[in-house]
Amino acid sequence: MSEPLVFELGRSGRLAGAQVPEAGRAVDLPPDMLRDSRPQLPEVSELDAVRHYTRLSQRNFSIDTQFYPLGSCTMKYNPRGCNTYAMLPGFLQRHPLAPEDVSQGFLACMYELQRMLCRVTGMTAFSLTPMAGAQGELSGVAMIRAYHLDRGDTERTEILVPDAAHGTNPATAVKCGFTVRELPTAADGDLDFEALRRLAGPRTAGIMLTNPSTLGLFERRIREVQEIIHGAGGLLYYDGANLNAILGKVLPGDMGFDVIHINLHKTFSTPHGGGGPGSGAVGVGERLAPFLPTPFVGIGPDGYRWVDAADHPKSIGRLSAFMGNAGVLLRAYIYMRMLGRRGMERVADHAVLNANYVMVRLAAAGFDLAYPERRACHEFVVTLKRQAREYGLTAINLAKALLDREFHAPTTYFPLLVPECLLIEPTETESKETLDRFVDAMAEILAEAQVDPERCRQAPVKMPVRRLDEVRAARKPDLRYRP
């Protein structure tokens, strides 16, 4: 059954009466400033709308309903308490420009969050204003740029990015005015150090690294990377996408990183919301502290206060109209307080335990690991190159067959350098039973594909729609409803 568009449910003149003010007097504005056309908004009753959006919600997978072994996304449970307490009226109704003397409750949470993030990363200062990972990256790379320029070093025009990196890394470096030099990955999954030594030099502004990498591997020679890059006069950027794997185990600051962003919607479990909001809080060591984006929270004689551009003249500036995704930050704060110190130390333990368990069981079930000799961090890569060639079980076919078994698919075709790959990240909040069911489903699909290859090519068959014609969608884009 398809669900009609909300526009198709409407009838001209129908109104959700309880939500609409009485019609007032005619508006005293010049007629040439007013709208003649009626916007194409639905005309439905409140019940129509509630049923429609409830039904649409039921056409989604979500963490609350399914397991998401989605590599590089850290789809852990989003505790309901975080939502409830972030949505207390005092927080929801607080205006972003409310003065500090009537904002001490909120500011206290933000200040403590900044401090806790410093503690779990080994950085000295944090700004919470970036509104997603990519904006955290943007502010981090902009700070690297500002740092070099501030020292009068104008020759540093290049950022090094591993070929396995998330696409936002090179895109961000370019947006900050840099040229990207791509670093190859060695056969064992670590960086290619020969290439690193060759590329690092007087033009190097910095390197962007995820550690553990997007291959789920810990870069063992990270201190050597630091020596090479710092030795060349560049800085080290830590993409915190995979922080969950090392939370409480290693501090990025101790690895030699100068700047870090954290995806709070991953490690600190704020909801993904079907594609956002996220939060990409950015932290720095001493060297980059003067360039931190504003505003952030400081302490003054009268309590917590905003540190703005006026107090922080070398700042790279403002990234959002106000102070970022405050409601997301509150959820992360509440989550961190509920975990506490011991809880945080256990996150990486169990995320890594779950990943290695699933990895060993899948290998035993006949799946090929991309890096069989390596220990998994919180995620690992399976390659279906052999199965794709032998009986057409490609990554996409397996992904779709999983949907029919009520599991969200792992990340597919990323990192780009492993053919027909699945990136699998179970997270620490999943139980052994769920992981076992997942492995069983994977094994079942593998067995089925060998005897009946066509079946997984046809999957999914139990979802609200089957495979969609993406070519048609892109060739003749239908991006809005026209009656």
Find the binding residues for another protein in span 71-110 (CB under 8 A).
73, 75-79, 81, 83-99, 101-106, 108-109
133-150 and 168-175 are packed helices; what angle lies between their axes, rounded to 10 degrees? 40
> Rounded to an integer, what distance in angstroms lies between the CA atom of residue 77 and that of residue 66?
11
Q: DSSP state, 463? A: S
C-beta of 87 vs 299, nearer to another protein = 87
Backbone angles phi, psi at 212, to 5 degrees: -60, 155
Give the one residue of 237, 429, 445, 456 binding another protein; rule: CB under 8 A: 429
Q: Is 426 in the site for another protein (CB under 8 A)?
A: no
Name the minimum Å distance from CB 368 to another protein.
Answer: 18
First to last CA, the chain: 21
Q: Is 481 in the site for another protein (CB under 8 A)?
A: yes
Q: What is the pattern of x (binds another protein, CB under 8 A) and - over residues 16-35?
A: x-xxxxxxxx-xxxx-xxxx
Contact 125, 299 (CB under 8 A): no
Give the one residue of 69, 70, 158, 384 binding another protein; rule: CB under 8 A: 70
Name the minimum Å distance from CB 176 to another protein.
Answer: 5
Name the minimum Å distance from CB 355 to another protein.
Answer: 9
Site for another protein in 273-312 (CB under 8 A): 273-278, 293, 309
Helix (H) or strand (E) holding 97, with range, is none
Of the candidates 241, 176, 252, 177, the one whose C-alpha atom is nearest the C-alpha of residue 215 is 241
Give the one residue of 125, 164, 176, 282 binding another protein; rule: CB under 8 A: 176
Name the minimum Å distance from CB 303 to another protein.
Answer: 11
Name the minimum Å distance from CB 148 to another protein.
Answer: 12
C-beta of 178 vs 387, nearer to another protein = 178
Q: DSSP state, 15? A: -
> Rounded to an integer, what distance in angstroms lies between the CA atom of residue 294 and that of residue 312?
8
Collapsing DSSP to helix, strand or coil, 225 comes out as: helix
C-beta of 286 vs 450, nearer to another protein = 286
Contact 70, 410 (CB under 8 A): yes
Q: Which two tokens stand for residue 309?
A: 């551009």
Q: Which two tokens stand for residue 404?
A: 């029919």
CB contact set of 116 (below 8 Å; sequence gap of 6+): 333, 336
Q: Is 399 in the site for another protein (CB under 8 A)?
A: yes
Of the candidates 322, 314, 318, 260, the one whose C-alpha atom is nearest the C-alpha of residue 126 is 260
Name the minimum Å distance from CB 194 to another protein.
Answer: 21
Q: Is 14 in the site for another protein (CB under 8 A)?
A: yes
C-beta of 119 vs 450, nearer to another protein = 119
Give the one residue of 230, 314, 437, 467 binding another protein; rule: CB under 8 A: 467
C-beta of 123 vs 450, nearer to another protein = 123
> At 117, which amino acid appears?
L
Give the one residue of 69, 71, 162, 170 binding another protein; rule: CB under 8 A: 170
Name the minimum Å distance from CB 331 to another protein.
Answer: 10
Contact 239, 259 (CB under 8 A): no
432-451 and 326-364 are packed helices; what angle lies between their axes, rounded to 10 degrees? 50
Site for another protein in 115-154 (CB under 8 A): 115-116, 119-120, 131-135, 137-138, 142, 145
Q: DSSP state, 96? A: T
Name the minimum Å distance from CB 459 to another protein.
Answer: 9
Q: Is 373 in the site for another protein (CB under 8 A)?
A: no
Give the one residue of 154, 301, 451, 465 binding another protein; rule: CB under 8 A: 465
Q: Which two tokens stand for residue 141?
A: 């790379």
C-beta of 166 vs 200, nearer to another protein = 166
> Rounded to an integer, what distance in angstroms lies between the CA atom of residue 445 and that of residue 402?
8
> Rounded to an integer, what distance in angstroms lies between the CA atom of residue 80 and that of residue 459?
33
Collapsing DSSP to helix, strand or coil, 180 comes out as: strand
Site for another protein in 305-364 (CB under 8 A): 309, 316-328, 330, 334, 336-350, 352-354, 356-357, 360-361
Q: What is the pattern of x (binds another protein, CB under 8 A) and - over residues 178-217?
A: --x------------------------------------x
Q: Which two tokens stand for residue 16?
A: 């959700």
Q: Is 231 in the site for another protein (CB under 8 A)?
A: no
